[in-house]
Amino acid sequence: MNSKKFWIGVVATFFVYGILQFVIHGWMLRNMYDATAHLWKEQAVMQSRFYGHLLADFLFALLFCFIYVKGYEPPKAGVAQGIRYGLYMGLFVQLPMTFTYFAVFNAPGSLLVWWLIYGLLTYIICGGILGAIYKPKAATS
Average pLDDT of the segment spanning 56-81? 91
The angle subtended at Cα 88 by Cα 40 and Cα 123, nearest 5°, is 45
- Write down the pLDDT at residue 140: 56
Q: Which amino acid is at 113?
A: V
pLDDT, tens digit, for every residue of 34-49?
Answer: 999 988 889 899 899 9
- Write down the pLDDT at residue 71: 87
Domain boundaries, the chain: 3-133
Average pLDDT, the chain: 92
- Those residues with Cβ within 8 angstroms of residue 67's Cβ, 6 or more apart along the chain or in another chain: 89
- Those residues with Cβ within 8 angstroms of residue 66's Cβ, 6 or more apart along the chain or in another chain: 6
